[in-house]
Chains A and B, each alone.
Chain A
Amino acid sequence: MAAVAGNRARRLALRTGHILVLVLFVLFTATPFAWMLITAFKRDSDLYNPDNNPFWFNEPPTLEHWAYVFQRTPYLQWLLNTAVVGLAVILITLALALPAAYSLSRLLGRWGERLGIAIFLVYLVPPTLLFIPMARVVSSLGLQNTLWSLIVVYPTITIPFSTWLLMGFFKSIPRDLEEAAMIDGCSRLGALRRVVLPLAVPGIVTVVIFSFTLSAQEFIYALTFVTSTAVKTVSVGVPQDMVRGDIFYWGPLMGSAFLASVPVAVLYYLVLDRFIAGFTTAGAFK
């Protein structure tokens, strides 16, 4: 009897500990967003009182910040631009990184290994000042102040890492599967399409997530290549239109930060299972 009770107490303690850990983590990640959401509806006079509870309404809520976001700025256009750039970058990244990774992992042997390292290193090029010569490149291509400038430049950041990531996935797919398909009369490219790519879908999901996140977050290139309000992305448009001179428009800023994050989080959440499965099959344990 005592043993059973002890066991139960232990399990209860474990469970409580488990819940406590999760609550702490969620508090850490989500508190800023809860605050953002409340601030987006808060009157300035409420916000600017340090004695007020920052997590609740001490004065009646207001919609004026949202009016600013939607009436004074083309916020929806920026969201759309961000999505367009993100999708295009995903397509270009996949189109170039998939063959490159396959080639490096399957066709080029040890030489491919070294080249793989080299290609990854491109990722470490310090970006702080690259935007100046890059602005000239964009200009000679005639792309400045268009979304194309971002669509063309971002893959230079996403391709190296994606290639390296996909190499790992391809290596984990047993070679015999592919060779069996080739014996059955498939060409190498046919085998690639019918056998290898379907197995690499999880890796592709990883690349998609990575590319989209990067293009939605990038700041310096977006700042210098695109200056017309109508072609800005969220990460540049929002701080530019909602910090005027030395005044932060906290309500609109936090409202649009919240609104820009949630849909992407939902999307990622939906593909999360595939993502995890991706790493599992690509797994490092083969």
Chain B
Amino acid sequence: MWRTRTTRRDFLRTVGAGALAAGVPILGRGPSRAAAQGGRRLRLRILQWQHFVPPYDDWFNNVFAPRWGERHNVEVVVDNVGLADLPAIAAAEAARVAAGQDPGHDMIQHLSPPAALEPQVIDHGDLIKELLASSHPARPGGVGNYTKLAHLSTYNPVTGKYFGFSDNFVPDPIHYRADLWRQAAAQLDGFDGVHALNGPVTWHDILRAGRVLKRMGHPVGFGLSQELDSNMILRAMMYSWGTAIQDQDSNVVLDKPPFREKTLDLLRFVKQLYEEAMFPGVFAWTAASNNEEFLAGRLSMAANAISISRTAQAAALQALERGENPETSPAIQFAVNTEITSLAPAGPEAARGLEHVMGVYAIWDTGNTAVIDAAQQLLFDLVHSFDPDVAEAEGWGPGKFVASQAYDYPTFDNAIPAQKRLAFLRNDPIYAPIAEATGDRPNKLERVEAAMDWALHVGWPGPANAAIDEVFNTFVIPVMFARVAQGIDRPEDALDEAARQIRSIFNKWRREGLVGGTS
């Protein structure tokens, strides 16, 4: 039983059997002592993004948060802002915490590991331990492991502190147009049944088919620009080529043998991929481009969270409601032809992919223990809420996984057990009406499940530290690739300049005592 675990926190003291007797839902807790003592209702203020899936915010803000608050006698205030605005607000709040002021929110959900904010947040290690030891009768077997992906994204080995708590990640699969892909495959020797049916298996496939697809007027689109998607896909390629920015101990290895040759090889490959299979729009890529270009029907392939699929499906559902013929309606056929690959495309060394977004909550270290306890309790319950059965038992509506339409994947690998994830994806309620109308299979997005195995984090194979974060957010890697693809720099020069910038960034954060490594 999760609520009978030992805990040092006042807030988590439970009323035990008393709750049962009073008819409170089976796992309900009594009011926290802090709240009871003060007589004043505790306030917990959360800042998070406008979720890509609007119904998720409806669920979190109007179902989960208020019901949770009622149970714990806490007033939960949720502010939603655009994802691009989170860092600025977090910076302002960190300055307030450092000055001993009220930051404005008690915790923030970041969309990439906020390693630089470490000095101003609590250590989230205890919360993780408590979750690992917890269980719920509606979900046998506990919440599972805190995945390596999440651990490396939130733990700083130099200070031994968990500077964040990741409750979810978002997979970043390759989307492709099945109809175009089949046409291209038909024109190519050696593209056997697997290739034709399941989409690209290797980056070499993508290059070969991409040439044909570009001639057909449907290039592939992987950004080479200063934005998130470019950052992600280029790192996925680096990892698959066996190179990375840092090693496990945070030494910069990008330009060191044997990684140097691999990086250079990849730089040359990306230049070739750009010239033969892509188009100049990749230099103007924005976070919205892969959606817009793909949905405009011009792209044959893009990497993104399942938002491309979901957007296509939403358009198809509208067309269905308008009474369009499923066989001829462009919107409906488009949704049918939009597929994702189950594995990340392989490079010379391995098939490695990335997360698209790491959902990382961080609680400000304001010294207000009652609020900090409440925040941890909410996160504790949020992880449990992934499972639809737990959510139902606790009165939390459909739970996090279903509310996000399978967009948010758990970082505790059994928070929603695999078979329950698959049960949802195999009879996907969003796609089901389209599948029924067209005779397509309803488990369109089931392949995303494989991301649990292939998704790596930014900073792999080392920790997601503050230097990695600055390199990520100042787009050193996309700029390096773009300059080579455009023919402005030789691969060697672009690599040397990028490595120089990266070292300078690493050294700064090493002086801060937040990043390990020496070279």
Contact = CB atoms under 8 A, between A and B. Distances in A.
A–B proximity contact (CB within 8 A): yes
Interface of A: 44-45, 48-50, 72, 131-133, 135-136, 139-140, 144-145, 220, 223-225, 227-229, 236, 239-241, 243-248
Interface string B71-99: 00000010111111100110111011001
A240 B85 contact: yes
Nearest to A135: B92
Interface string B42-74: 000001011110100000000000000000000
Contacts of A133: 95
B292 interface: yes
A223 B288 contact: no
B483 interface: no
Contacts of B337: none
B41 interface: no
Contacts of B50: 240-241, 243-245
Contact of A247 (B85, B102, B288, B331): B288
Contacts of A227: 47, 79, 81, 89, 104-105
B330 to A, nearest CB: 8
Contact of B296 (A50, A139, A144, A236): A50
26 contacts: A44-B315, A48-B295, A50-B296, A50-B298, A132-B91, A133-B95, A135-B92, A135-B93, A135-B95, A139-B99, A140-B101, A144-B102, A223-B85, A223-B88, A224-B89, A227-B47, A227-B79, A227-B89, A228-B79, A229-B80, A240-B80, A240-B85, A241-B50, A245-B287, A246-B288, A248-B292
Contact of B79 (A50, A131, A229, A243): A229
Interface string B161-202: 000000000000000000000000000000000000000000
Interface of B: 47, 49-52, 54, 77, 79-85, 88-89, 91-93, 95-96, 99, 101-102, 104-105, 228-229, 287-288, 290-292, 295-298, 304-305, 307, 311, 315, 319, 330-331
A228 B47 CA distance: 9
A132 B92 contact: yes
A55 to B, nearest CB: 18
A262 to B, nearest CB: 24
A206 to B, nearest CB: 32
Nearest to A134: B92
A165 B91 CA distance: 35
B307 A220 contact: no
Q: Which of A133, A224, A225 has the most CB of B within 10 A?
A: A224
Contacts of A245: 49-52, 83, 287, 305, 307
Contacts of A50: 296, 298
Contacts of A145: 104
A258 to B, nearest CB: 20
B389 to A, nearest CB: 28
Contacts of A139: 96, 99, 101-102, 104
B96 A135 contact: yes
Contacts of B305: 245-246
A131 B88 CA distance: 9
A246 B287 contact: yes
B106 to A, nearest CB: 13
Contacts of B292: 48, 248
A247 B291 contact: yes
A41 to B, nearest CB: 16
A248 B288 contact: yes
A72 B96 CA distance: 32
A244 B54 contact: yes
A224 B99 contact: no
B408 to A, nearest CB: 12
Contact of B311 (A72, A228, A240, A247): A247
Contacts of B229: 246
A83 to B, nearest CB: 22
Nearest to B295: A48
Given A139-B104, A140-B101, A246 B52 contact: yes
B80 A144 contact: no
